[in-house]
């Protein structure tokens, strides 16, 4: 082909025309591909469109809430900081009125009224509730949403059923978001969340991350077994909720150096501990501090603990 055209100089003009036509064609195809991409690049938007076709009122409502949140997220300008950013990662467990028989685990139970007082004051103070993906962005890129230092990541461990009945309605009321670290083999068992509840809450700003399959003490578990716990809980969450699970919470905050490297190797982007304090990249992304919330924590205690 190229030999032939060299021997036929009169074809030169035609070649140039052909070339221009090809360039124009590539341009048109490129533009169409770009337009197609911006319409289809957000798979969650597609899922939402599907979910909005349900006709019951709650489904519609949740669709609208989600749109609000997404609009907020779209408008965020993530501003690079000079100072190392700190993220208060709150650690809650159960949210219910404690029974007398539960005094042994009192520190893990916060009353709904107390919980609401926390969320209300965070909301009134203008705190921005991070998703796990946003928390990762903040920590790994040292950025703040619109330069706002008032950020918070609410985490709950264990996937207790009261997250759905007590915590979730309060969080929805204040448009707060949070994530529950679930023990995947407990889902559907008495006292724990169900798959349907996970799916419903996920549509309304909650997210679900890994707290392993069986909640073992990882510091007393073989490397092999640790690997299984981390891999299987992540793949269960990934497939059940159609997501990429990025965070792990070590059961009871117990872990070894092997746990940290396994978490990284097996596809988690970060992991939270029960070590007290505000999180920062200086902890290492696989050993992030959290702020333990006690039944006695007042909104003022909370606000003073998390300011930096
Ligand atoms: Zn736990």
pLDDT in tens, 188-203: 999 999 999 999 999 9
What separation in Å is there between the alpha carbon of 29 and the centre of ligand 1? 52
What CA–CA distance (Å, rounded) separates 307 from 80?
Answer: 19
Across residues 260-265, what is the average pLDDT?
Answer: 98
The alpha carbon of 303 and the centre of ligand 1 are apart by a number of angstroms equal to 25
Helices assigned H by DSSP within 142-286: 162, 168-173, 195-203, 223-240, 257-265
Cα(169) to ligand 1 centroid in Å equals 22
143-145 and 78-80 strand pairing: antiparallel
CA 197 to ligand 1 centroid distance, Å: 19
Query: 215 alpha carbon to ligand 1 midpoint, in Å?
Result: 6
Helix (H) or strand (E) holding 6: helix 2-7
Measure 249 CA to ligand 1 centroid, in angstroms.
8
Give the pLDDT of residue 67: 43
Ligand 1 centroid, distance to 253 Cα (angstroms) = 8
The pLDDT assigned to 63 comes to 44
Q: Find the range with the poorest average confidence among 69-73, 82-86, 254-258.
A: 69-73
Residue 210 · residue 235 · CB < 8 Å: no
Going from the Cα of 293 to the center of ligand 1, the distance in angstroms, rounded, reads 14
Torsion 263-178-252-286 (CA) sign: positive
Instruction: Indicate the helix (H) or strand (E) that contains 80.
Output: strand 78-80
Write the class of the CATH domain 82-306.
alpha beta
Of 62-66, 156-160, 180-184, 226-230, minimum mean pLDDT range: 62-66
Q: How far is the CA of 90 from the centre of ligand 1 (A)?
A: 14
Quick one: tokens of 60?
Answer: 């519609």
Query: Given a cut of 80, is residue 133 above it in pLDDT?
Result: yes
Q: 3-state DSSP call for residue 178?
A: strand
By the 10 Å C-beta count (0-12 exposed, 13-18 middle, 19+ buried), 214 is classed as middle
Distance 30 CA to ligand 1 centre (A): 50
Count Cα neighbours of 137 within 13 Å in the Cβ-side half-sphere: 15
Ligand 1 centroid from CA 260, angstroms: 17
Residue 195 CA to ligand 1 centre (angstroms): 19
């Amino acid at each position: 082909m190229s030999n032939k055209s060299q021997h036929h100089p009169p074809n030169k003009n035609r070649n140039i025309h052909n070339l221009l036509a090809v360039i124009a064609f590539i341009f048109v195809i490129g533009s169409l591909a770009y337009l197609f991409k911006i319409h289809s690049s957000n798979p969650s938007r597609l899922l939402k469109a599907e979910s909005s076709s349900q006709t019951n009122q709650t489904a519609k409502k949740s669709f609208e809430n989600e749109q609000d949140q997404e609009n907020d997220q779209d408008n965020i300008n993530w501003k690079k900081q000079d100072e190392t950013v700190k993220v208060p990662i709150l650690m809650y467990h159960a949210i219910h009125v404690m029974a007398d028989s539960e005094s042994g685990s009192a520190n893990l139970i916060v009353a709904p009224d107390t919980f609401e007082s926390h969320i209300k004051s965070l909301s009134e103070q203008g705190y921005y509730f991070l998703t796990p993906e946003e928390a990762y962005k903040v920590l790994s890129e040292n950025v703040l949403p619109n330069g706002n230092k008032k950020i918070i990541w609410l985490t709950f461990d264990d996937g207790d059923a009261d997250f759905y009945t007590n915590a979730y309605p309060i969080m929805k009321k204040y448009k707060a978001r949070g994530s529950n670290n679930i023990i995947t083999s407990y889902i559907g068992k008495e006292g724990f969340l169900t798959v349907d509840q996970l799916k419903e809450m996920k549509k309304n700003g909650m997210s679900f991350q890994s707290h392993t399959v069986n909640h073992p003490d990882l510091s007393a578990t073989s490397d092999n077994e640790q690997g299984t716990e981390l891999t299987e809980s992540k793949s269960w969450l990934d497939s059940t909720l159609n997501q990429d699970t990025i965070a792990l919470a070590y059961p009871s905050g117990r872990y070894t150096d092997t746990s940290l490297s396994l978490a990284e190797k097996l596809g988690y982007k970060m992991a939270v501990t029960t070590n007290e304090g505000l999180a920062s990249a200086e902890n290492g992304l696989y050993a992030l501090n959290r702020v333990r919330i006690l039944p006695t924590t007042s909104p003022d205690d909370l606000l003073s603990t998390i300011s930096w």
